[in-house]
Amino acid sequence: MALRFRKSFKIAPGVRINLSKSGVSTSVGGKGLTANLSKRGTRVTTSIPGSGFSASKLYGKRSKGAVEAAPTPLWAHVLTWLMIAAFLWWIFS
């Protein structure tokens, strides 16, 4: 039996910080569309809420044995944190 660890903290509506054994990641979005930025790359998940249907695609590094893709671009991380900062500024101002 494999042991797993995962903890998620909501820092703003639609923005979460996720902690696990493999590292830290940031999730942006909600029901229907979510983007997750981690050391593995960017995973975009779309779904039809309540139906059980979803699709997910990982952009960035590939599985073992595959040719390594380009890492998640810096602009994606910067854009995510700018959106978080703007949203927090909007809430608290």
Q: Please write the tens of the pLDDT for every residue from 13-58.
A: 888 988 888 888 899 988 888 899 888 888 898 888 888 888 888 8
Q: Any bridge partners for residue 7, and if so which?
A: 19
Answer for the pair 56, 40: CB distance below 8 angstroms, yes or no.
no
Percent of the chain with pLDDT over 70: 86
pLDDT for residue 38: 87
